[in-house]
Structure 1
């Protein structure tokens, strides 16, 4: 009687081990593939951010009434930051609106400032 209980318990342990082994191997395979290419997703994200910044800069450059010579564009995961200066304050809001209209932009932080007027005496 005791040997029958021992065999049942042993059979249960073996069954659990058989079921868990393929699961553990599958997880090891996934972990090793992620470990083999840890920078590939980061590299792709940087490339996408660079492409989005270029698209925003191109949209700003093609918009009449915006001088892009003093504007720097940064992008990270769809969030765009505009920094620098523009000749007149009206271009600040216009640049932000143009950036928001670019495909892939999820938010815009507009840190543009109007350049001080040259040639004014005191």
Structure 2
């Protein structure tokens, strides 16, 4: 049995504290203003008192697969009302202490991709990952 790809999004996150536009999540923009985080839970929560929102992003690429798959973005939990974007498209908003899981197949490519989280409330993040589901199981 072939193992389907999973992309763990533990490290490699960056944050941008001062802008109000999701276009800052696009990978083609200058990275110099984004500060790196060791892990997503290392985010500077005290900055929310100075800003209405903080933005977190994670850039990734997907490897080709031999089988037909659907890709999902999953996060165990996030601060309340965190907005989730993939490549600039709004996937939804997290509920309090509930996991967030969306099919992102139509929004990603095998090229550069970006997960962007807009956080307006203090809280912690659970495990974040991308995973593949066989097409016949996704229906």
Name the TM-score, length of structure 1 as normaliser: 0.23
Larger-gyration structure (1/2): 1
Name the TM-score, length of structure 2 as normaliser: 0.21
Give the number of the structure whose residues are more often helix, by fraction.
1
Q: Which has the higher contact order (CA 8 A, sep 6+)?
A: 2
